[in-house]
Every structure is written in structure tokens, then in C-alpha cells.
Amino acid sequence: MALILHATKGNKNAYKALIAAEYVGVQVELVPDFQMGVSNKTPEFLKMNPIGKVPVLETPEGPVFESNAIARYVARSNGDKTLFGSSLIDHANVDQWIDFSSFEIDTNIMKLYLPRLGYAPYLPPVEEASLTSLKRAFEALNTHLATNTYLVGHSVTLADIITTCNLYYGFAKLLVKSFTSEFPHVERYFWTLINQPNFRKVFGQVTQTDAMPPLPSAKKPAQPKESKPKTKDEPKKAAKPVVEKPKEEEAEEEAPKPKPKNPLDLLPPSKMILDEWKRLYSNTKTNFREVAIKGFWDMYDPEGYSLWFCDYKYNDENTVSFVTLNKVGGFLQRMDLARKYAFGKMLVIGSEPPFKVKGLWLFRGQEIPKFVMEECYDMELYEWTKVDISDEAQKERASQMIEDFEPFEGEALLDAKCFK
């Protein structure tokens, strides 16, 4: 009798058992047309796993849930123990690396990946901690693999199968080359295993992702409330007596409350039209210094607007390029509330980590808008310094930031992002 695996075709946790089955010659069949959220909510499924988690293995002796336990069962199911090594210490080391890859690699990859799928809230401190932990795990794995082809012994074990499955989402969905290239032995190990015939039969062709998935918008449109249809048998409510109100009261009730104006809209008119500057910036393709930069200073109104330098306070934490770029991208996304009143340039500086993040911002008014400081939490992660345009050095620094001048302050630019 074949073992029945309840899971979707693309479930990487189900792959653990399917690959193990290929190595030991056991038949494992996926349930056809399995649907998450439907198949795993049926009474029959909940009898096998009361909390409805996937995968579940159906065996002649009874069900088994939890993917590592399922993989162990399959690996032992024909009496062949080669996937566990040849000695007691081998068995222990196989379990050791299974636990390591599950708790140190898979857990942290999923903490980074799930918010990007919209299945978990995005919390910057959690992302930073997960990335630090993942990097530490990769460093440890890289050190071990510097002198070992496989995790245990000289052939594939269950530890390699489970670890490769746990690395899969990282390489295929999340971690770009600039991250993984810091760990060449992990790269070599993953691509060697993923292209073994028994792995390839289950995974198919695997390629590394070019970009980390973007975070979904934090704000979702409110869903309209469903109106409850009245049934025919529902008794009609007694009509309330109509009490005529004085016309003055009626007018007061019907008049909509005026929307409070943004204080920046109440400032005296400025000679600088922000949209005109943004159009000039966007449309200037050549002679940028002579056209756009000169145009900016001709337009700039120091009475109606102010310029600010910002410097990230925790640059020593910017050790991973794509994470630093995502951090800046997230900041610009959350600054959308100020689009009508601001223009900004953010530079990520350096060819080697840690990378420096610096910016220049143009705000309506003489101070950073209060509503921006209150509603965009990223603001407190930066030191803010008002630009003194009477100081030629500061004015030139601002011009270079608008222009993406390179090298900036003696260093290469990793990237430059514009808010307009």
C-alpha cells in the first residue's frame, strides 16, 4: 500500500518526504486536488491533525503530522537506515542538522517571507532580528561546509534533504545573489543537492530569485458591510412617530462638517511651485547640473520651503545590501502622506558593508511638518539637520545629492532613490 501524503504540490515541507521516498524506494502519493483552506478543514482531515496543519502522512498504522517526523517515518519505512548514517554519532548528527536548519534557517526565512505574502504583519525590528539570525546561521553552515561535501558523512542523509528543503524558499523566493555570495560553500552545497536526480525529480528546475518580493501596502481598502436581507416572515417594526424639527435644527444636522485643513495649506503662497520642480527633475535627461540643478536654485523659495539633510543613526547595522535598499524603499513608501508637500533624495553609499544611508529633503514651511514626524516612525531613525544655503559647502552638498553625484563624499553610490 502506498503512503498517502496530504499536501499541495508546491509545499516544500512535503518535498522532504517525497525526496526521502525516492532515496529509499518507497511509494508516496500526493492526494490529488488538495486545496489549502478547504481539504485541511474537513472532519476527516482534522481527525488526522486536529489543528489542520499540512502536511499529514496517512499510513497503515495511522496518521503522522509534522514534516520532519513524516520524513523520518518515510526514511525508515523499508528498514533501510542509510539516510541516517552508519553509527550512533551519525544518527545524532543527522538529528542535530535537522533541528539546526529548522530552527535557525527555516524559521528566520519564513519570518522574512510571510509578511511579503501578506500572511503576517511587517515589523522592522522583527525583520532586522531575523536577518541577523539568518546571517549567523549561514555563517555557521558555511564554516561546516568548507571542509564537508555533505552535512554528515560522505553521502546524502536525511539532514541534507531537510536542510535543502529549508533553504529552498530562501534561494528561490527571497535571497538575492548579493546575499548568498557571501557564503560560497552554502551556495555550492545548495546547488549541488538541488540538482541531484532524486531532488530534481521533486523540485524540477530551480533558479535563484533576482529580487526580494515587495511588502504589500500597509493600508487595505475598507470592505463594505454586508446588508442582512430581510426574510418574509420577519415582523415589520412599528414606525416611529415623525417629529418635525425646526428648519434651523435640520440645517445644522444636514450640513457636513468641514474637513480640517492641513496647516501647510494655510501658509502664505510661495513663488516655488513644487510640481513644476518635480516635472523639471523628471524631464531633464542631459546636462542635469546646468538645467535641473540651476533650475532648482532659481525656483527655491527659502521663505516658503526648507531643506534638510538626514543621516541614518544605525549605519553599522546596514550589512546586507538588499535589506538596506528595502529599508530605504519602505521609508519612501511610508512618506507617501507628505507627497503634496515634499521632495526627497535618499542615497545608499558604499561599495562594501556597512552601507551609509543619507538623504536630502525639501519640505513646505520652515520646519519638518508635524504630521510627518508623528505618523512616519522612520523619521526618528535619522538625524535631521537644516541646510544653511548661505554656506556654499552645504549648498553644493545638496546639489550633489539631487544630482546623484558620484563619488559622493569620496565613496561610490550603491543606489539613489527619489521621492517626488
Q: What is the pTM of this model?
A: 0.58
Residue 327's CB is within 10 A of a number of other CB atoms, namely: 23
Same domain, 156 and 35: yes
For residues 163 and 239, what is the distance between their CA atoms, to the nearest angstrom?
69
Same domain, 8 and 144: yes
Domain annotation covers residue 254:
no
Could you say which of 203, 224, 241 is where a domain stops? 203
pLDDT tens for each residue of 65-103: 999 999 999 999 988 788 999 899 999 999 999 999 999
CA distances in angstroms from 207 to 3, 109, 184, 191, 326, listed in the order given: 30, 17, 16, 9, 22
Q: What is the CATH number of the domain that holds 35?
A: 1.20.1050.130
Residue 105's CB is within 10 A of a number of other CB atoms, namely: 22
Could you say which of 154, 183, 203 is where a domain stops? 203
For residues 59 and 42, what is the distance between their CA atoms, to the nearest angstrom?
19
Domain annotation covers residue 160:
yes
Domain annotation covers residue 248:
no
- List the beta strands (DSSP E) in 33-179: 56-59, 62-65
| pLDDT averaged over every residue in the chain | 89
Same domain, 158 and 10: yes
Higher pLDDT, 101 or 123: 101
Same domain, 129 and 56: yes
Same domain, 45 and 139: yes
Same domain, 156 and 290: no
Least confident of 146-160, 233-247, 259-273: 233-247
Same domain, 8 and 91: yes
Asked if 88 and 153 count as a contact pair (C-beta separation under 8 A), the reply is: no
pLDDT tens for each residue of 332-343: 988 988 999 999
Domain annotation covers residue 89:
yes
Residue 227 has pLDDT above 50, yes or no: no
Burial of 276 (0-12, 13-18, 19+ CB in 10 A): exposed
Q: What is the pLDDT of residue 188?
A: 96
Domain annotation covers residue 226:
no
For residues 142 and 148, what is the distance between their CA atoms, to the nearest angstrom?
10
326 — pLDDT class (breaks 50, 70, 90): confident
Burial of 91 (0-12, 13-18, 19+ CB in 10 A): middle
Domain annotation covers residue 250:
no
Bridge partner list, 384: 310
Please state the domain count of the chain.
2
Mean of pLDDT values over 273-301: 94
Same domain, 180 and 288: no
Same domain, 191 and 278: no
Same domain, 82 and 164: yes
Domain annotation covers residue 241:
no
Q: What is the pLDDT of residue 246?
A: 52
CA distances in angstroms from 406 to 196, 263, 289, listed in the order given: 45, 38, 13
Could you say which of 203, 222, 257 is where a domain stops? 203
Q: Which three cell numbers stand for residue 218?
A: 500597509
Q: What is the CATH number of the domain that holds 317?
A: 3.30.70.1010
Residue 100's CB is within 10 A of a number of other CB atoms, namely: 20
User: What is the span of the domain harbouring residue 284?
Assistant: 266-419
Measure CA 277 to chain center: 33
Q: Pairing relation of β-strands 56-59 and 305-312?
A: unpaired
Q: Tell me if residue 385 falls in helix, strand or coil.
A: strand
Q: What is the pLDDT of residue 390?
A: 95
223 — pLDDT class (breaks 50, 70, 90): very low
Domain annotation covers residue 210:
no
Same domain, 190 and 111: yes
What percent of the chain stands above pLDDT 90? 72
Residue 81's CB is within 10 A of a number of other CB atoms, namely: 14
CA distances in angstroms from 69 to 51, 56, 194, listed in the order given: 16, 10, 21
Same domain, 17 and 111: yes
